[in-house]
Amino acid sequence: MFETAIAGSLPKPSWLAEPQKLWPQWKLAGEALAEGKRDATLAWIKLQEDAGIDIVGDGEQSRQHFVHGFLESVEGIDFTRKTKMGIRDNRYEAMVPTVVAPLRLRGRVHETEARLARAHTKRKLKFTLPGPMTIVDTIADVYYGDKVKMAMAFAALLNQEARALEADGVDVVQFDEPAFNVYREDVKRWGIDALHRAIDGLRCRTAVHICYGYGIQANIDWKRSLGSEWRQYEEIFPALARSRLDQVSVECINSRVPINLLQLLAGKDVLLGVIDVATDKIETPEIVAGVIADAMKYVPKERIHPCTNCGLAPMSRDVALAKLAALGAGAALARRQFG
């Protein structure tokens, strides 16, 4: 019970990439970079195990960014043709690459790190991929001319990689959809359909991660504008409860999400955010167990997986390690108290 997991990303070692950046530059190149990515993946598998994380991941050590790590393997995108776009409903502006031709996978995306991780841990293994809605919110288009059509094209590619990850021995494939909290009507209209396309035929567990973003300033400012109660989940959870996805990863600790909204996810595993990624303050095991106890009022305890609110990529390594340890220790305390 209370099997722990992380949302996805972890800090990259300072010898591999610029530290404490969401979009860091690599410090290595060529074969040295490939070797560095493999070593960083192995280091974090071990460090997650040591911290008591039950469902481990690659910490996204092989990708520069959670969306573009996938896009780099996709044909039909012109990375030199940058378009200025307001993303997440104009929360921030970014220069994004442009879809100019039919989308096709150039080959495997995460084969190396998935097989490496599988060979080096006996624990359950989770891999993350960006969700179709979040991808189309992070890229410009002059080919498809229709956002939903393009999302479905990306969903087919995600499905191709997800099936291959399952064959590599991955136990959980998670799609990251921070855009779900922004375009709630679109989630019901086509966002979940796109995820269903992405998980088509998978027999492993499937998850969707829906947060209020990394602990960066644009997101902190946005959260301040959302008022005293964040009720975004209320609009999308009922549709997610009816979906074919197995697990939903949600932001909880230190958020203004009313915890009783979790009851709208009946029948789903809840990856419960018990670790805040927007502060360097380290949670205590008692605080973590307390959030689990609150959630147990609305979610059957066997369906609760203590998790982080979002990825830890922009944090310092020491803070991330301390937070992983707090997650492991807090879940262990909860098992003793409520098991």
- Binding residues for Zn ion, rule: CB under 5 A, are 211, 310
Provide, rounded to whole angstroms, the least separation between the CB of residue 71 and Zn ion: 18
Provide, rounded to whole angstroms, the least separation between the CB of residue 175 and Zn ion: 11
Q: In three state form, how does the secondary structure of 225-291 look?
A: CCCCCCCHHHHHHHHHHCCCCCEEEECCCCCCCCHHHHHHHCCCEEEEEEECCCCCCCCCHHHHHHH
Provide, rounded to whole angstroms, the least separation between the CB of residue 213 and Zn ion: 6
Provide, rounded to whole angstroms, the least separation between the CB of residue 294 and Zn ion: 21
Closest to Zn ion by CB, 53 vs 211, is 211
Closest to Zn ion by CB, 144 vs 222, is 222
* 122-126-130 Cα angle (round to 5): 160
Q: Compute the distance between CA of residue 298 and CA of residue 235 in angstroms, rounded to an integer.
A: 17
Closest to Zn ion by CB, 211 vs 315, is 211
Q: What are phi and psi of 315, to 5 degrees?
A: -90, 170
Q: What is the DSSP string of 4-36?
A: -B--S--PPPTTTB-TT-SSPPBS--HHHHHHH
List the end-to-end C-alpha distance of the chain, in Å, as a whole number. Answer: 7
Provide, rounded to whole angstroms, the least separation between the CB of residue 72 and Zn ion: 20
Q: Compute the distance between CA of residue 195 and CA of residue 57 in angstroms, rounded to an integer.
A: 21
Beta bridge pairs of residue 130? 176
Closest to Zn ion by CB, 130 vs 330, is 130
* Rg of the chain, C-alpha, whole Å: 19
Provide, rounded to whole angstroms, the least separation between the CB of residue 212 and Zn ion: 8
Beta bridge pairs of residue 324? none
